[in-house]
Amino acid sequence: MSYCLNPTCPNPENVAYSPRCQSCGSRLLLRDRYRVLEPLGQGGFGATFLAQDEALPGEPSCVIKQLRPSGTAPHVLQMARELFEREAKTLGKIGNHPQVPRLLDYFEEQEQFYLIQEYISGATLQQEVKLNGILTETGVKQFLSEILPLLQYIHEQKVIHRDIKPANLIRRTQDARMVLIDFGAVKNQVSQAATNQSGHTALTAYAIGTPGFAPPEQMAMRPVYASDIYALGVTCIYLLTSKTPKDLDYNPTTGEMMWEQLVHVSDHLTSVLRKMLDVSVRNRYQSATDVLRALEIEPYLESLSKGLLVKSDTNYKERTHNRHEDSAVLCSNPSAPPTGVGVAQVAAAIRARRAKTAEASGLDAGGMRQGSGTAKSTSLPNSNSNGSQTQLSKVERKLDTQGLLTAYLKGRRDFALHNLNLLNLQGVDLSETNFHSAQLQNTNLQGANLHNSDFGRASLTRANLKDANLSKAYFNHADLEGADLRGADLSHAYLSNANLRGANLCGANLSGAKISDDQMALAKTNWMTVRPNGKRGLL
């Protein structure tokens, strides 16, 4: 089919390869090369169309965005044109990033403005949730770990997207990577919008973003980088609940979105989302790196809350020399030198929340004797109102096979930091479980169902994962050296920064997995290994 771009055409659909529109007579081949196939959507000032470039071999697909403001007043047309040009400049500036559509062309023809972009084949997050249902906590963390570095890159280019939402995030078909689209609402600097002579601001309702996803300061025409953090937080709530902002209640006093009772996630992820969604921009995370740093310290919160982590920066640095994974507690860049700031801040916050109850028991907020510098691993009595005694003791993290399976059957899904070395878990169902920073060395997980589980920073050296279901599993910074992954299903798994030296991936399915060629080169593969692009064979 050929589709007519004339906004006033009464019947824009035409037979394929027609030279002119049968209804209005307009030429159907834009700039003698682009043929529109079908409309994709329309926003406040632009309509988008799927097209093919007939000037290139194979006639590849592309997206045409046409300036179509909904108003006709002169100032509206002028502002829409400025925003359209801004989108073209922004795409030209940042479109070399693999998670941003490339700008292919930009021109004016017959007093109409056109922007030609790379076509991204895939489903939006909105479509994914409608088709497959809501995401788990692990799925949301995977999403954040992929989109936050992109957001940081965009902000470093002094660009605020201002319209982050599920409909503007596409999972690209060929590599399962998340791509951010629609830069029509971008702002290229952080400053209050200037007022022109006509009394209208330089930005209109067309450009402030989507109500509910945009925070208060953005709706008031004063967007900052943290405005995108808020929109990303609202997107996470949608992924966890399938509810859009208009489906949610708001606190009439504070204006805060009321979502916490609708999600089933850990206390720590709740606190991260709460800070992303703070209506006060001062209290919100100020950068994507801040959010990544907050997510990195998750496995250590329980230790912090019990006062079991080190008591000084000196001790911390001494321990990080022996424990590689601790370096990520305090910095998002594993190669950067550790500092004590992150631990101190989190520990202080936890202790503040527990101050009142700790006072009554004669302990400080970290679960330690007042005035002492170390946590007590022995039991400490604490009298309650009934006169009975409760115990505060160090949590035992060693589990045997039966203990783990019993806990899982009773509904427990969090085994972070546990010692599960040498256990025989062949063929068991442990899907959607948190094994973050756990010890699973030489553990037998052959044929186990570990779908959507979190193995971030876990040690799986020489583990038997043959024929295991590891689809959508999270292995960021995990140690899989010498692990047996023959025939394992690792489709759409997140393996970035994982150590795969000597891992056996013969016959493993890595379609859609996030893994680099350098990582693959360290592992054993054969002609039966399904690579991330879906093709079989050696690298």
pLDDT tens for residues 129-151?
999 999 999 899 989 999 999 99
118, 142, 173 - which closes a domain: 118
Question: Mean of the pLDDT values across residues 446-457?
Answer: 93
With tokens 């062949």, the residue in question is: 426
If asked whether residues 414 and 362 sit together in one domain, one would say: no
Residue 196 domain-assigned (yes or no): no
Which residue type, as a one-letter code, is found at position 394? K
With tokens 């702002």, the residue in question is: 187
Chain mean pLDDT for the chain: 78
If asked whether residues 71 and 170 sit together in one domain, one would say: no
Phi–psi pair at 57, nearest 5 degrees:
-60, 135
DSSP assigned state of 535: -
| pLDDT of 202 above 50 | no
269, 295, 321 - which closes a domain: 295
pLDDT tier for residue 485 given thresholds of 50, 70 and 90? very high
User: Tens digit of pLDDT for each residue in 354-413?
Assistant: 444 444 444 443 334 344 333 333 333 333 333 333 333 333 478 899 989 988 888 888
Residues 6 or more apart whose Cβ sits within 8 Å of residue 254: 279
| pLDDT of 461 above 50 | yes
The more confident residue out of 86 and 44 is 86
Question: Mean of the pLDDT values across residues 202-211?
Answer: 57
Three-point CA angle 31, 37, 39, nearest 5°:
105
| pLDDT of 177 above 50 | yes
The more confident residue out of 486 and 539 is 486
Q: By CB neighbour count within 10 A (0-12 exposed, 13-18 middle, 19+ buried), where does 378 fall?
A: exposed
Note the maximum CA span of the chain: 90
Return the exposure string of 287-318: e unless at least 16 CB atoms fall within 10 Å of the residue's CB, then b.
bbbbbbbbbbbbbbbbbbbbbbbbeeeeebbe
Q: What is the CATH number of the domain that holds 243?
A: 1.10.510.10
Looking at residue 310, its pLDDT comes to 34
Residue 376 domain-assigned (yes or no): no
Residue 378 domain-assigned (yes or no): no
If asked whether residues 133 and 240 sit together in one domain, one would say: yes
Looking at residue 410, its pLDDT comes to 84
Return the exposure string of 340-350: e unless at least 16 CB atoms fall within 10 Å of the residue's CB, then b.
bebbeebbeeb
Structure tokens at 384: 């309650």
Structure tokens at 465: 């994962």
Domain count across the chain: 4
Looking at residue 369, its pLDDT comes to 39
Question: Mean of the pLDDT values across residues 92-102?
Answer: 85
* Host H or E run for residue 180: strand 178-180
Alpha carbons 477 and 185: distance in angstroms, whole number: 35
Alpha carbons 525 and 137: distance in angstroms, whole number: 31
Structure tokens at 103: 């700008």
If asked whether residues 272 and 347 sit together in one domain, one would say: no
239, 265, 295 - which closes a domain: 295
Looking at residue 299, its pLDDT comes to 41
Residue 387 domain-assigned (yes or no): no
Residue 177 domain-assigned (yes or no): yes
Cβ contact 225:190 at 8 Å: yes
DSSP assigned state of 312: S
If asked whether residues 226 and 134 sit together in one domain, one would say: yes
Looking at residue 128, its pLDDT comes to 94
> Strands 61-67 and 46-53, how do they pair?
antiparallel
The more confident residue out of 110 and 316 is 110
Name the residue among 209, 197, 183 with its Cα closest to residue 75: 197
Cβ contact 394:417 at 8 Å: no
Q: What is the CATH number of the domain that holds 450?
A: 2.160.20.80
Determine the distance from the C-alpha atom of residue 211 to the mean position of all C-alpha atoms in its chain, rounded to a whole number: 21
Residue 408 domain-assigned (yes or no): yes
Residue 302 domain-assigned (yes or no): no
User: Tens digit of pLDDT for each residue in 280-289?
Assistant: 999 999 999 9
If asked whether residues 286 and 359 sit together in one domain, one would say: no
Name the residue among 89, 70, 67, 4 with its Cα closest to residue 38: 4
Look at 90-94, 159-163, 193-197 and tell me which has the smallest mean pLDDT.
Answer: 193-197
Q: What is the CATH number of the domain that holds 6?
A: 3.30.200.20
Question: Mean of the pLDDT values across residues 87-93?
Answer: 82
Give me the catalytic one of 32, 53, 163, 479.
163
| pLDDT of 304 above 60 | no
DSSP secondary structure string for all residues of 119-164: ---EEEHHHHHHHH----HHHHHHHHHHHHHHHHHHHHTT-B----
Alpha carbons 42 and 522: distance in angstroms, whole number: 47
If asked whether residues 324 and 283 sit together in one domain, one would say: no
If asked whether residues 134 and 92 sit together in one domain, one would say: no
pLDDT tier for residue 186 given thresholds of 50, 70 and 90? low
Residue 89 annotated as binding site:
no
If asked whether residues 349 and 421 sit together in one domain, one would say: no
Name the residue among 494, 488, 459 with its Cα closest to residue 474: 494
If asked whether residues 129 and 184 sit together in one domain, one would say: yes
If asked whether residues 99 and 129 sit together in one domain, one would say: no
Looking at residue 72, its pLDDT comes to 63
Residue 301 domain-assigned (yes or no): no
Structure tokens at 254: 């504070």
Name the residue among 349, 70, 114, 332 with its Cα closest to residue 207: 70
Look at 43-47, 211-215, 216-220 and tell me which has the smallest mean pLDDT.
Answer: 43-47
Q: Which domain holds residue 154?
A: 122-190+210-295
Looking at residue 362, its pLDDT comes to 44
pLDDT tier for residue 67 given thresholds of 50, 70 and 90? confident
User: Tens digit of pLDDT for each residue in 19-56?
Assistant: 999 999 998 999 989 999 999 887 666 788 999 999 88
pLDDT tier for residue 290 given thresholds of 50, 70 and 90? very high
Looking at residue 89, its pLDDT comes to 83
Residues 6 or more apart whose Cβ sits within 8 Å of residue 425: 401, 404, 405, 443, 444, 445, 448
Catalytic site residue 163?
yes
Looking at residue 366, its pLDDT comes to 37
Q: Percent helix, strand and coil across the chain, each rounded to 5?
A: 30, 20, 50
Cβ contact 527:537 at 8 Å: yes
User: Tens digit of pLDDT for each residue in 257-266?
Assistant: 999 999 999 9
If asked whether residues 409 and 531 sit together in one domain, one would say: yes
Question: Mean of the pLDDT values across residues 402-428?
Answer: 90
Looking at residue 265, its pLDDT comes to 92
What percent of the chain clears pLDDT 70, i.e. is strictly above it? Answer: 74
DSSP secondary structure string for all residues of 325-386: GGHHHH-SSTTSPP-SHHHHHHHHHHHHHTHHHHHHHTB-TTSSBTT-SS---S-EEEE-TT
